[in-house]
Amino acid sequence: MGRVDRIADVWGTRTPYGQGETWPTRVDTHLEEGLGPEDVDRWVQTASIMHSNGDALDIAVKDDRIVGVRGRAVDRVNHGRLGPKDLFGWQANASPDRLTRPLVRKNGELVETSWEEAMDAVVGRTKELLEEQGPSAVGFYTTGQLFLEEYYTLGLIAHGGIGTNHVDGNTRLCTATAAAALKESFASDGQPGSYTDIDHADVIALYGHNMAETQVVLWTRILDRLAGPNPPAIICVDPRPTPVAQHATVHLAPRPGTNVALMNGLLHEIVANDWVDHDYVEAHAVGFEELAKRVKDYPPERVAQICDVPEADLREAARLIGTADRLMSTVLQGFYQSHQATAASVQVNNIHIVRGMLGRPGCGLLQMNGQPTAENTREAGADGDLAGFRNWSNDAHVEDLARVWNVDPMDIPHYSPPTHAMQMMRYVEEGSIRMLWVQATNPVVSMPELNRMRSILSQERLFLVVQDIFLSETAQLADVVLPAATWGEKTGTFTNADRTVHLSEKAVDPPGEARPDLDIFIDFAHRLGLKDKDGAPLVKWSTPEEAFEAWKECSRGRPCDYSGMSYEKLRGGSGIQWPCTDEAPDGTERLYADGKFFADPQYCESYGRDLITGAPLEPDEYKAMNPSGKAVIKFAEYLPPHELPSEDFPLQLITGRTVYHFHTRTKTGRAPQLQAAAPDVWVEVSATDAELLGLEEGDLTEISTPRGSVRARARVSGIREGVVFLPFHYGYWDVGGHEPDGEGRAANELTITDWDPASKQPIFKTAACRVTKVGAGGGTASPAPTTTASAPLAGDVPPTRGGAGADVDEELATAGGAR
Amino acid sequence: MKIGLVLKELHRSENDLAHELLQVSDRHKVDHEIYHVARDLAQWSQRHVKEIAAIAERYGEKLDPEPEGESHLAERLIDKGSELMGRAKTPGLLMLRDLRELYMKASGVSVDWEMLAQAAQGIKHTDLLEVCQRCHPDTLRQMRWANGKLKEASTQAIVS
């Protein structure tokens, strides 16, 4: 057993292994200072809720308090490993500033009240609005951090009970494009690949995916392959010098907003060199001829110019991808939050289709998630979808959902796709949505253009309900604040990006009067008197396990089929991948083996959209295009981004997540080791730009776009020239308020209100900006970590260290690894 | 032969469609998807204008290859108006009216392309046919976009 400072050494100790072998286990444990495993009263099974990887872990409980965590060696996802956020983030649960009682606004102030009064206010206003205007007045903006059971209940209440079409999650900001890209190519959501594909792949391509920081443990798996025999080649597409880029065989750093040109260039090479599996394409796909014709417009010399990448690198990347035997690809925010998000991500799917790289070990395609339970909002229909991947424009699917819920099909709005979050904010702005219920998310820090967002959500005429565990920036604007329980304080299930479902058990009681989100929703439904068509209560369950059983029935026969699972089966062992049915009782490792898709016109979740205009395809159009349910190859031409650099704003701004913080730092900012590692916002500039701007490490700068400005200390890093980076986690709750008092700090003060027309995901990675020096650093370094993409190029910057409080026990397997 | 006449009419209506897309974009600056996508789609019509002008010479028509621009002063005034109107409820209906107009105009252009393609096939002018085959799908996408936005926006604008 070794002890490792896991703030300094983010990925921990190597356990090398070779292609096709089993990843050895390494059990990571972190307990409160002074405690050993023998002091723990009980270990409670769960998985991480700080990222989308789905690391399984046990919570250590002593005297009815959470005192630490330990990775689960038996788990298929992490084989015992944990990342820094898993190891230290749990401490936030016990923060003294947790919300413990409901609050209501009286004379402009939020004051403590009883649940009775708070729920009366919420239910009373809902009733008034339903009477006055109908369901179009009520919107729900949820999260990627509740449990499956809670989303399913919320979707039922909102869609089937109230009948509003306005339900979405903040997954719109993180994984809407993953879902959209999968729906375009395979006519249904659901990631084809499995994390075990890392064990088998010979080429791994990461597109806009800083896996090293967003999915630490998954990256550890790749590091272990790289340290073993027959390591895979890595392709990295990212304008930043991420750890992925540093380990890459080829690193492409395209100019922000040019991903589609880059992908079309790669496909051009694959087609031109005939690295195409023609038999597979012939048998299992439609649309290849059009693609082959259109990518002719994207020869490497032209693409190299658009993207500003070396032509030779582009050709080499295409050669590696085009000649791989087992190709694995992952995609994340570098594509999803950028210009032409869906179109670029779809081209990654196209590569796998034309190369016949689906449904076999090592041929993983993973359109990743950003948040831990993002997959569940999608499955359960709480984020602009209908429950169970049902197709809103297929009447038979709506009727089937009505049967499951025992309501009339007309009670479920399906006249258009469920309203997406950005459109909901627009309806709030113009005043037609008059009540917005926000759960476990923080739009006044996470949405684009914060000045606009604050002015929208602080309107007098809006009734804002916020359900959360802290008084976030958004909660400070609310009319009613409902204190929720969180991970470790309630039971439920959630699903990661490779469809692995984990059970998360309650370990301790929530503080004060805080309640599980499920209980809050059910209480609301009952108080509102929501009934099914026979007059029975609409929500027929009261516990998480009952909700899970109801969900299993709803999912039966759909792609995300949970019918073969149970809490009992999930308990004790490892996670299980859906679909899990009577025929596949242990789950399904990979989708689309033998080229069988969920794309039949009568079965599919979506008929798709135009990648440029976003217009949905009509059912007849889809049937004509794809009568026998094959994979769909779609092309899109490159369009320049909507905001280009100018004389006033000569640089391009990208924003993003970093390894120590998560989702507006609500929890991670309250975990001492994580907070100390990256205590404040910084800005990354390239050496060339730093010289032009006269900037040195630690200098105070102002970063401005047409929408606002932010102040941050400069880090001169290896980022590509012309591009600056701001981490997007920093808001105002910990500097005393919900908005800047003078100087701005949140990256989203600067971002443009613009989104991808197909996925409706906002674009955080192409704003034009300028950077000006405000003051000399005077020897003070920027607060940027030295351990990851923000590492300094030079200078004597003190290295990021966690110290004694960040020591973690690592227990390495002596031989091989148990599954 | 009246192909020149049809090209002239198409040149006019594509210019008109591009202008209308830009106008609608400006009027709905706070409806960001309309704002951005309409501008992208206007470029398609502007490209068509160039293609039509290039081939029209063969049919005896001298047409301006430069798409008509927009008045910057007028644009700025409309921008301001759009921002001020953003908090009122009526823009929803105004937007429906604008999208309906776009849909009608794009439909007209689509029919023109269809007529032209028929004629090009009849006289076996493959160059002209290729122009039609390149441009007409864009027009159909412009139509479907306007129609799709209409479907999406109608309910909230009318029932609330």
Residues 623-652 of A with CB under 8 A from B: 639, 642
Q: pLDDT for B124-138, tens place per residue? A: 999 999 999 999 999
Query: Which pair of tokens denotes residue B135?
Result: 């441009």
Count how many pairs of residues, chain A against chain B, have C-beta atoms within 8 Å: 79
Nearest to A755 among B33, B40, B89 (CB): B33
Per-residue pLDDT, averaged over A22-40, amounts to 97
| pLDDT tops 50 at residue A292 | yes
Task: Determine the pLDDT at residue A817.
Answer: 42
CB burial class (10 A; 0-12, 13-18, 19+) of residue B70?
middle
Q: Is residue A672 helix, strand or coil? A: helix
Query: How do A700-705 and A631-632 pair as beta strands?
Result: unpaired
Per-residue pLDDT, averaged over A3-8, amounts to 97
DSSP H stretches of helix in A250-329: 259-272, 278-284, 288-294, 300-307, 311-323
Q: pLDDT for A388-416, tens place per residue? A: 999 999 999 999 999 999 999 999 999 98
| pLDDT tops 70 at residue A102 | yes
Confidence of residue B160 (pLDDT cuts 50, 70, 90): confident
Task: Determine the pLDDT at residue B75.
Answer: 52
DSSP H stretches of helix in chain B: 3-27, 32-56, 72-85, 91-122, 126-159
Which of A430, A612, A764 is the mutation pick for testing B, counting most B CBs within 10 A?
A430
What is the ipTM metric for this complex?
0.93
Whether residue A68 sits in one domain with residue A10: yes
Whether residue A383 sits in one domain with residue A356: no
Q: pLDDT for A341-365, tens place per residue? A: 999 999 999 999 999 999 999 999 9
Q: Is residue A591 part of a domain?
A: no
The enclosing domain of A222 has a CATH number of 3.40.228.10
Q: Quick check: A427 and B41 CB within 8 A?
A: no
Whether the CB of A458 is below 8 Å from some CB of chain B: the reply is no
Backbone angles phi, psi at A767, to 5 degrees: -65, 145
Whether residue A774 sits in one domain with residue A745: yes
Q: Which residue of B has its CA nearest to A455?
A: B87
Q: pLDDT for B73-119, tens place per residue? A: 455 555 555 555 666 656 789 999 999 999 999 999 999 999 999 99
Query: Which pair of tokens denotes residue A218?
Result: 């998954």
Three-state SS string across A446-482, please? HCCCHHHHHHHHCCCCCEEEEEECCCCCCHHHCCEEE
The enclosing domain of A777 has a CATH number of 2.40.40.20
CB A151 within 8 A of CB A434: no
| pLDDT tops 50 at residue A818 | no
The DSSP bridge partners found for residue A492 are A504
Nearest to B144 among A427, A613, A642 (CB): A613
Q: Is residue A542 part of a domain?
A: yes
Q: Quick check: A430 and B87 CB within 8 A?
A: yes
Cα(A503)–Cα(A293) distance, rounded to whole angstroms?
48
Confidence of residue A819 (pLDDT cuts 50, 70, 90): very low
Q: Is residue A643 part of a domain?
A: no
Per-residue pLDDT, averaged over A274-298, amounts to 98
Query: Which pair of tokens denotes residue A481?
Result: 């604040």
Q: pLDDT for A721-750, tens place per residue? A: 999 999 998 999 999 899 999 899 999 999
Cα(A560)–Cα(A169) distance, rounded to whole angstroms?
19
Cα(A176)–Cα(A181) distance, rounded to whole angstroms?
9
Whether residue A563 sits in one domain with residue A476: yes
Instruction: Name which of A56-60, A636-640, A753-757, B92-96 the model is least confident about.
Output: B92-96
Q: What percentage of chain B carries pLDDT values higher than 70?
A: 86
| pLDDT tops 80 at residue A566 | yes
Which range of residues forms the domain containing residue A266? 176-368+599-632
The DSSP bridge partners found for residue A65 are A62
- State the CB neighbour count (10 A cutoff) for residue A285: 23
Domains in chain B, please, with CATH?
3-159 (1.20.1260)
Whether residue A784 sits in one domain with residue A692: yes
Cα(A192)–Cα(A327) distance, rounded to whole angstroms?
13
Whether the CB of A323 is below 8 Å from some CB of chain B: the reply is no
Q: Quick check: A613 and B156 CB within 8 A?
A: no
Task: Determine the pLDDT at residue A729.
Answer: 87
The enclosing domain of A118 has a CATH number of 3.40.50.740
The enclosing domain of A56 has a CATH number of 2.20.25.90
Confidence of residue B1 (pLDDT cuts 50, 70, 90): confident
Calculated CA dihedral for residues A154, A158, A160, A164, nearest 10 degrees: -160
Q: Quick check: B39 and A429 CB within 8 A?
A: no
Task: Determine the pLDDT at residue B72.
Answer: 47
- From the list A683, A706, A708, A648, the residue with the least C-alpha distance to A773 is A683
Q: pLDDT for A790-807, tens place per residue? A: 999 987 899 999 988 999
Per-residue pLDDT, averaged over B31-38, amounts to 96
Whether residue A359 sits in one domain with residue A387: no
Q: pLDDT for A135-182, tens place per residue? A: 999 999 999 999 999 999 999 999 999 999 999 999 999 999 999 999
Per-residue pLDDT, averaged over A690-711, amounts to 97
Q: Is residue A77 part of a domain?
A: yes
| pLDDT tops 80 at residue A675 | yes
Whether residue A86 sits in one domain with residue A122: no
Whether residue A36 sits in one domain with residue A137: no
Q: Is residue A588 part of a domain?
A: no
Whether residue A254 sits in one domain with residue A188: yes
Q: Is residue A691 part of a domain?
A: yes
| pLDDT tops 80 at residue A816 | no
Whether residue A697 sits in one domain with residue A733: yes
DSSP H stretches of helix in A324-467: 333-336, 341-354, 374-380, 395-405, 421-430, 443-446, 450-457
Whether residue A202 sits in one domain with residue A170: no
Task: Determine the pLDDT at residue B73.
Answer: 45
| pLDDT tops 80 at residue A35 | yes
User: Any long-range contacts for A559-566 (C-beta under 8 Å, 24+ apart)?
Assistant: A559/A188, A559/A189, A559/A190, A559/A389, A559/A591, A559/A598, A559/A605, A560/A189, A560/A190, A560/A379, A560/A388, A560/A389, A560/A499, A562/A501, A565/A501
Query: Which pair of tokens denotes residue A78?
Result: 């992490």
Q: What percentage of chain A carries pLDDT values higher than 90?
A: 96
Name the minimum distance, in Å, from the CA of B56 to any CA of chain A.
25
Confidence of residue A506 (pLDDT cuts 50, 70, 90): very high
Whether the CB of A422 is below 8 Å from some CB of chain B: the reply is yes
Q: Is residue A195 part of a domain?
A: yes
Per-residue pLDDT, averaged over A120-133, amounts to 98
Mean pLDDT of chain B: 90
- From the list A86, A38, A40, the residue with the least C-alpha distance to A61 is A40
Confidence of residue A779 (pLDDT cuts 50, 70, 90): confident
Mean pLDDT of chain A: 97
Per-residue pLDDT, averaged over A691-717, amounts to 97
Per-residue pLDDT, averaged over A303-325, amounts to 98
Q: Is residue A523 part of a domain?
A: yes
- From the list A624, A635, A623, A559, the residue with the least C-alpha distance to A597 is A559
Q: What percentage of chain A carries pLDDT values higher than 70?
A: 99
Whether residue A187 sits in one domain with residue A166: no
Please enumerate in sequence order all residues whose Cβ is within 8 A of that of A327, keeping only pairs 6 or more positions apart, or say none. A201, A202, A203, A204, A205, A321, A351, A352, A355, A357, A362, A363
Question: How many domains would you assign to chain A?
Answer: 4
Cα(A389)–Cα(A189) distance, rounded to whole angstroms?
7
